[in-house]
Structure 1
Amino acid sequence: MQPAQGAAAAARQQLGAVRESRAPGRGALASAVRGEGWGSRPACPGLSRRGVYLLKVLLYGLRVEMYRLQGRIVTVLDKFVKLAEKQPHKPFLIYEGKVHTYQDVDRRSNRIAQVFLHHGALKKGDTVALLMGNEPDFIHVWFGLAKLGCVVAFLNFNVRSRSLLHCVSSCEPKILVKDISVWIMTKDSTFPSVHTLLDKIEAASEDPVPVNRHSANNFKSSVLYIFTSGTTGLPKAAVISHMQVLKGAAGLWAFGATAEDIIYITLPLYHSAASLLGIGGCIELGATCVLKKKFSASQFWSDCKKYNVTVIQYIGELCRYLCSQPVKEGEKNHKVRLAVGNGVRSDVWREFLDRFGAVKICEFYGATEGNICFMNHTGKIGSVGRTNFFYKVTIYLHEPIRNKDGWCEKVKKGEAGLLISKVNAKNPFFGYAGNKRHTEKKLLCEVFKKGDLYLNTGDLMVQDHENFLYFWDRIGDTFRYNRSLFTFQNSPLTSFPPDHEGKAGMASLILKQNTSLDLGQMYKQVVTYLPSYACPLFLRLQEKMEMTGTFKQQKFRLVDEGFNPSTITDPLYFLDNSKKAYVLLTKEVHEMILSGKMKL
């Protein structure tokens, strides 16, 4: 491990030279399929930016298909091990000023694999749940378990209680019942049933475990479980195959990132954007990444300058948080050239470019468990990508409404509709672990003809007359409050108070007959079982819930009415953390919230 001083210099010094690019003739095609020069920028005279992108997609597909035909399964882990041999002293991770080279990470992950091999009694194919924040040992443990052929389940450290238990059980309930063991990253433990890792890692061998422990037999075999946010129910474990990891890892490369880039990762590693696109993408390129414990808007650009970052990852709100920071001198004085992510609004997109300079925004669309992805490689503001002869898009009405013949109907260009994706052998949907019902609920049968099968993405999209796609909305209400994202399918939203971002959640409740609401117990249940960002700030007691003509809860009127007790006759309550209870929302309390005198 290199010292903190000179970390950025070491990273840049060892990034290597760009290979001489070749025109997309037969030789270039062959070298690309073989994987030569994969991290360098391709020069393709005569081709438009869109043509270059489509060529890259084609070449990557050909390479994977050749692997399949030759019976070669080359995983992202295999690529990392090769890179550790090829460029052992090149920085792979920079974390809090410390440099971890490819060799460092490879050797420490070997130690962890040896610990679990000799102390953990793990077999190839066993599932191990990983509950850690952003730090190098997250990656060390992930890679170490992968070297044993284990399926690693990334747990969101924000979930708790019943949700956390559900996550563990949905990964592998038999192991949970018969033989569950807990390992913690410490040297000692007062609990006899909890095993320690750090002391055993120090004593373990750096020798690699046998390759046959992790060799993959099929691109479609499971390698990870990545959980959905649990915002529309309990979190679901999306099954991630080797193929999906490879596709995710190719994202940065497809947008033009190279081995010379330094990638800044502030998103949580338990999320596919950071783990697959970020860490996996870094391996695909042979590049360096700067890992942050937690996103900080105030430290973002200073970190980028300190470590000479050239590629950043974002979610839409992240860009907005950066734009909401006080303006500072020299904000365009950085080396960031690419920003890759999803969910940025058009107005924020424009403001970001105006304020922080000529950064290419690379917006994409995709879901962890989805089987379709779109990438905006042209920079058209607001779009998530464009359909082409590789990716055909199907958008139909907001709900699976069928005509008199029993078939669904596609929407016209310019109209919002539900995005669905065809499911077949070449475009599979791997679903969720632990509950077949969740997988089946995502599928639509016989949509346009007998025997067809489609994945319901749950996203409303619009396609314009140039075939550019735009995200319109999510089925279910999504709201952001206090820099966190949450979604309720059956709860209204109330407009946010002044000086607070986004919208706040309001739970509309109907009590059973002859019962009363225990506000203290309600508070206790909410803060115990929900992440802080998911706790409803307001309660509204109703005698009945208005329904739509299709028997769905009518929430829009509740949203419009907000939380003003002067105009709402139903009892309203407010989450008061100082009193550890929900308190009656009076006109006086309402005015204090609006004036900022009462802290939210």
Structure 2
Amino acid sequence: GETVALLGPNSPFYVATTLGVTQLGAVTALINTHLTGAPLAHALREARCRLVLVHRRHEEAVRALGLEGVELLVYGPGPFDEESARPGAPLAPVKVESGSDFVYIYTSGTTGLPKPCRVTHGRAVVAGSMFAAAVWRFEPGDKVYCVLPLYHSSGLLLGVGAAIMGGAAVALRESFSARAFWSDAVRYQATGMLYIGEICRHLLATAPGPDDRAHRLRVAVGNGMRTDVWEPFARRFGVPQIREFYAATEAPGGIFNFTGRVGSVGHLPLRHLLPGRLARYDLTTGEHVRDARGRCLDCAPNEEGELLVRISEKPLISGLEFKGYTDEAATRKKILTDVFRPGDRYYRSGDLMRVDEDGFFYFVDRLGDTFRWKGENVSTEQVAQVLLGVAEVAFAVVYGVPLAGREGRAGMAAIELRPGAAFDGAAVFAAVEAHLPSPARPRFVRLVAHIELNASFKPVRAALREQGADPSTLTDPLFVYDESARTYSPLTTQVWSALSL
């Protein structure tokens, strides 16, 4: 029943330690290796642990916190590794229940400090078994190449866990490297790859190489594959099957794309019998649209709404119970009650989605990322897709920035250019004018050397949003939407002070 915090890079030791802690009946809190300072202290406090098993490279960051009542065991080259490698007396495994906690996996922290999600033994087994049989569809000799961090559910449960349940092998890398990816895939003779977020876009941005098609990959499994990347990725690298899915570590269900519909996160047949529903959502008020009785309303085809997942006290599949977080208050915030009928309960995904006439779901945006400008709602994902269609643009992150005296937030795009490319303000202007309504066109562009990604390989918007667009506080090149010149013109302090948007 106690908790052991584990902080270290991907390795066989990491997997063995997680399973070893389970053998003792304890829970492993999987700590994000990118955390330092206050966020790291918060994560360890939330784990309520007395023991932290930390890799040597992260030891200093933990000791600097001065945590009281917490013992540190340091691994990496040294005495602990030598001692743990010696054969010891076997320990009888402690019996655990399906509904008891296996690991704590933290949220990415996009809406605040990371929260530990409770992952039960039953959930881990169900996730691994389902992905092994239905998503990966393992065959004899299969091997998964995993570059995702094992402190996240995709790497641990859907990669390593599925391989364990399906009898496949795993080739682990400490962290993602676009340059080494295909040479690793060839060297390990991998037949499957796991992706998330912008990994595939980064791979597309690399220069063509001899290993691009020398691999044996037959399937890529993951989430976050955008429409503009999907077909170019499959075509260039010769990956015959892409299986996109939608899920969250704590969610009581998921959506799967088994048919290869480009851009879709998946399909729910017999939707009225399944737990996922799209509810109308008013971005202006930040509330769900309700009828006269106070009930939520289903979205029409292609209408955007928040994905809600029904919480069942006795789900058809054991292990899909909604256990939430270690913090009961945080758990309650994710639950809506009396949603479509009296007494029902739904999990709030926080994601805007739409579903087409054929029942295929498409991710639109995070609720916290969508913003309003000139009375219109702006989807950051939609704007980013248009910008990524400009030849010189390698990566783009879109967000809203406040302006003094103006309601809403003006659109701003942080752009990373392709190597050797120059910013073409006229080309960007032409693209946004052709494909976006006026309120959605970014008012500002910021050129950055590198777009920072979080541990889920998703762009970090919060810091960019906080830094705003004032050229007196930023050193990066800035540009402003210039309708008269039909381009994005340099944004100087003089132009900034005279702006009238």
Output the TM-score relative to the length of structure 2. Answer: 0.71
**Pairing 1:357-436 to 2, within 5 Å after superposition:** 357-389=238-270, 391-398=274-281, 399-427=287-315, 428-433=321-326, 435-436=327-328
AA matched with 2:242: I
Q: What is the CA–CA distance in structure 1 between the aligned matches of 2:3 and 2:347, rounded to whole Å?
A: 26
User: Aligned-pair distance for 1:555?
Assistant: 2.2
498-507 or 334-343: bigger deviation: 498-507
Report the equivalent of 1:28.
Answer: none
Which of 566, 569, 572 is the equivalent residue of 2:471? 572
State yes or no: 1:471 paired with 2:363: yes
- Structure 2 unaligned runs (5+)? 53-66, 282-286, 316-320, 372-379, 381-386, 414-441, 447-467, 481-488, 493-501
Instruction: Indicate the SS of the match to 1:362.
Output: strand
Task: Verify the 8 A CA contact 1:383 1:469 in the aligned structure 2.
Answer: yes
Task: Verify the 8 A CA contact 2:278 2:305 in the aligned structure 1.
Answer: yes
Report the equivalent of 1:562.
Answer: 444
Report the equivalent of 1:209.
Answer: 91
AA matched with 1:282: A
Output the TM-score relative to the length of structure 1. Answer: 0.60
**Relative to structure 1, is the Cα distance of residues 360 and 563 closer, same or farther in structure 2, using a 3 angstrom cutoff?**
closer
Q: What is the CA–CA distance in structure 2 between the aligned matches of 1:570 and 1:252, rounded to whole Å?
A: 47
Task: Verify the 8 A CA contact 2:9 2:149 in the aligned structure 1.
Answer: yes
243-252 or 306-315: bigger deviation: 243-252
Q: What is the CA–CA distance in structure 1 between the aligned matches of 2:279 and 2:342, rounded to whole Å?
A: 17
AA matched with 1:208: P
Q: What is the CA–CA distance in structure 2 between the aligned matches of 1:182 and 1:259, rounded to whole Å?
A: 41
Report the equivalent of 1:234.
Answer: 113
Task: Verify the 8 A CA contact 1:153 1:171 in the aligned structure 2.
Answer: yes
Q: What is the CA–CA distance in structure 2 between the aligned matches of 1:247 and 1:341, rounded to whole Å?
A: 17
User: Aligned-pair distance for 1:220?
Assistant: 1.5
Instruction: Indicate the SS of the match to 1:308.
Output: coil
**Pairing 1:424-573 to 2, within 5 Å after superposition:** 424-427=312-315, 428-433=321-326, 435-477=327-369, 501-503=395-397, 543=404, 546-547=406-407, 554-557=408-411, 560-562=442-444, 571-573=470-472
User: Aligned-pair distance for 1:198?
Assistant: 2.0
- Structure 1 unaligned runs (5+)? 1-124, 189-195, 480-487, 489-494, 509-541, 548-553, 577-582, 592-600
AA matched with 2:84: I
Q: What is the CA–CA distance in structure 2 between the aligned matches of 1:186 and 1:316, rounded to whole Å?
A: 30
**Relative to structure 1, is the Cα distance of residues 403 and 156 closer, same or farther in structure 2, using a 3 angstrom cutoff?**
same
**Relative to structure 1, is the Cα distance of residues 505 and 408 closer, same or farther in structure 2, using a 3 angstrom cutoff?**
closer
Task: Verify the 8 A CA contact 1:252 1:340 in the aligned structure 2.
Answer: no
User: Aligned-pair distance for 1:296?
Assistant: 1.2
Q: Once superposed, what is the RMSD of the aligned Cα atoms?
A: 3.3
**Pairing 1:191-210 to 2, within 5 Å after superposition:** 197-202=80-85, 204-210=86-92
State yes or no: 1:266 paired with 2:120: no
Q: Which has the larger radius of gyration?
A: 1
AA matched with 1:201: S
AA matched with 1:457: S
User: Aligned-pair distance for 1:586?
Assistant: 11
Report the equivalent of 1:531.
Answer: none
Instruction: Indicate the SS of the match to 1:197.
Output: helix
AA matched with 1:431: G
AA matched with 1:241: T
Report the equivalent of 1:534.
Answer: none
Task: Verify the 8 A CA contact 1:563 1:572 in the aligned structure 2.
Answer: no
Q: Deviations over 1:429-477 (max 9, x none)?
A: 11111x2221111111111111111101111122222212222222112
Report the equivalent of 1:59.
Answer: none
Q: How many residues are treated as equivalent by the alignment?
A: 394
Instruction: Indicate the SS of the match to 1:163.
Output: helix
AA matched with 1:169: R
AA matched with 2:397: K
**Relative to structure 1, is the Cα distance of residues 140 and 329 closer, same or farther in structure 2, using a 3 angstrom cutoff?**
closer
User: Aligned-pair distance for 1:223?
Assistant: 1.0
User: Aligned-pair distance for 1:500?
Assistant: 5.5
Task: Verify the 8 A CA contact 1:257 1:311 in the aligned structure 2.
Answer: no
Task: Verify the 8 A CA contact 2:219 2:239 in the aligned structure 1.
Answer: no
Instruction: Indicate the SS of the match to 1:165.
Output: helix
State yes or no: 1:179 paired with 2:69: yes
Q: What is the CA–CA distance in structure 2 between the aligned matches of 1:263 and 1:387, rounded to whole Å?
A: 27
User: Aligned-pair distance for 1:298?
Assistant: 1.4
**Relative to structure 1, is the Cα distance of residues 233 and 460 closer, same or farther in structure 2, using a 3 angstrom cutoff?**
same
Q: What is the CA–CA distance in structure 1 between the aligned matches of 2:72 and 2:370, rounded to whole Å?
A: 35
**Relative to structure 1, is the Cα distance of residues 571 and 319 closer, same or farther in structure 2, using a 3 angstrom cutoff?**
closer
Instruction: Indicate the SS of the match to 1:254.
Output: helix
User: Aligned-pair distance for 1:570?
Assistant: 8.0
Q: Deviations over 1:317-352 (max 9, x none)?
A: 111111111123563232100100011012211111
Report the equivalent of 1:346.
Answer: 227
Larger helix share, 1 or 2: 1
Which of 323, 327, 341 is the equivalent residue of 2:204? 323
Task: Verify the 8 A CA contact 1:574 1:585 in the aligned structure 2.
Answer: no
User: Aligned-pair distance for 1:371?
Assistant: 0.9
**Pairing 1:69-84 to 2, within 5 Å after superposition:** none
Q: What is the CA–CA distance in structure 2 between the aligned matches of 1:586 and 1:360, rounded to whole Å?
A: 40
Instruction: Indicate the SS of the match to 2:232.
Output: helix
Q: Deviations over 1:232-280 (max 9, x none)?
A: 1100111111121112212132121234201100111111100000110
User: Aligned-pair distance for 1:179?
Assistant: 3.4
Report the equivalent of 1:67.
Answer: none
Q: What is the CA–CA distance in structure 2 between the aligned matches of 1:305 and 1:175, rounded to whole Å?
A: 39
Q: Deviations over 1:363-403 (max 9, x none)?
A: 11100111111111111212222112463431111242222
Report the equivalent of 1:253.
Answer: 133
**Pairing 1:7-156 to 2, within 5 Å after superposition:** 125-156=1-32
**Relative to structure 1, is the Cα distance of residues 563 and 362 closer, same or farther in structure 2, using a 3 angstrom cutoff?**
closer
User: Aligned-pair distance for 1:355?
Assistant: 1.1
Report the equivalent of 1:304.
Answer: 185
